Amino acid sequence: MHGGLAFLICWALQYRFRHRLWLLYVILISHLYGTAMELGQYYMNLGRTFSWGDIAANTVGAIIAVTVLGAYQAWKTKKFPAGETANPFSTLIKNLLFMDLAKLWSPKRIFDFTAALAALLALSPLLIIIALLVRLKHGSPILFRQLRPGMNEQPFALLKFRTMTESRDEAGDLLPDDQRLTQFGRFLRTMSLDELPELINVLKGEMSLVGPRPLLIRYLQRYTPEQKRRHEVRPGITGWAQIHGRNAIDWEEKFNLDVWYVDNRSFWLDLKIIALTIWKVISRQDISADNHATMPEFMGSEKENSNQ
């Protein structure tokens, strides 16, 4: 059952596994799921005998899968010890022996991956329902995809549930956001449900649970050098700026908060941000800027423009 569920998950996310190591992802997810089921059934008294042996086997299997995946990634990106040959097999073996896994799988990355996977599994019924409603109310495609700059300004395809229609004027241009944003889309944004597909971006390593929000690529040319520092970390589903005003604060303050997070980030700060984000969503605070359906476009720093 574990392998079957893992296969379905990997099939649904098949575009992620272009390097043909999808079977290792199946093994990894299967072992993680197996361990979670063992612990869950034990603590919920579902009648299954608790077995430390099964948990140990699942844990070792997951560690092996992560190690091999990390070794392959190191070889793929040429981050392996000096003196390597061009033989992929020997490179793989040497990476397994000498590579620094901490650089590829930091505690924050492990937490992001585990939490995102658990959230996707737990919220899968809700995700299916939302996807069906988006299809009925907004048509196809269900997901909104847009290139956004990630860590070190590397672009990636951000995933969200669509909240707007594709309505256009007589000239064929898209109508303003406030005219395309539907009532159902507004509800998704109010509850932050449109952000749930970004958990896939977290699994892929393109985003983190906590970090500066990924903005538009065209903003890169408008940042000051200090504002660009927000790209020193992975972008997040939520962040320090989101719990201090979200869309109700101006761009200058938002970027100052983002850079503060970059300089002061820690595991405990991330947990605090996640907890406060849940409270913000429940209380529906700071959803949009004044007189705007969405945040107005960033046109550049006022201080920077005044010096030109």
Tokens for 290, please give them: 């004044």
Report if pTM > 0.85: no
Instruction: Name which residue leads in pLDDT, 43 or 115.
Output: 115
- Looking at the chain, the whole-number percentage of residues with pLDDT higher than 90 is 33
Which residue in 117, 112, 149, 130 sits closest to 274, CA to CA?
Answer: 112
First to last CA, the chain: 63
Question: What's residue 200's pLDDT?
Answer: 92
Give the mean pLDDT of 41-55: 57
- The confidence band for 152, taking pLDDT boundaries of 50, 70 and 90, is very high
Instruction: Name which residue leads in pLDDT, 254 or 14.
Output: 254
Radius of gyration, alpha carbons of the chain: 22
Give the mean pLDDT of 137-157: 91
Instruction: Name which residue leads in pLDDT, 21 or 251.
Output: 251
Give the mean pLDDT of 119-137: 90
Give the mean pLDDT of 71-94: 49
Mean pLDDT of the chain: 75
Give the mean pLDDT of 16-38: 55
Instruction: Name which residue leads in pLDDT, 153 or 93.
Output: 153
